[in-house]
Amino acid sequence: MTKTLQKPKPKKWPKVGSLGPIEKFHFDGRIGQILGLAPTVESVLYTKNLADWLGVSVQCVKVWRLRRTGPPNGKQGCAPAYSRDAVAQWLRDRQAALIKSAAK
């Protein structure tokens, strides 16, 4: 008797550019402070720079990128790169969404 393998259900990814479901992270209470701190690099952040700036692990940034829930990114060569302005806007949008969800 052979078992038939079932296909796994496809994952439903959030729309690109949407925040997706808001998960609370330890940096959410410090978004204002993070926006006030300038990262040590110019206008392009790589995964490690972004993780250091936000105070999260590199793995957390990678998971955000794969789930498409983190800041918008592009590629610089082979490496994922983040615009500092786009990350700041993502943080502002995130802060607004958290305030909106807390007001409900």
pLDDT block averages, 10 residues each, the chain of length 104: 64 50 62 66 82 90 91 90 90 86 77
Distance CA(48)–CA(32), nearest Å, equals 21
Number of H helices, E strands in the chain: 4, 3
Backbone torsion region of residue 20, taken as left when φ is above 0, otherwise alpha when ψ lies between -120 and 50, otherwise beta = left
3-state class of 46 per DSSP? strand
Strands 74-76 and 79-83 turn out to be: antiparallel
| CATH architecture of the region 29-103 | Orthogonal Bundle (1.10)
CA nearest neighbour of 45 among 29, 30, 56: 56
| φ and ψ at residue 82, rounded to 5 degrees | -125, 135
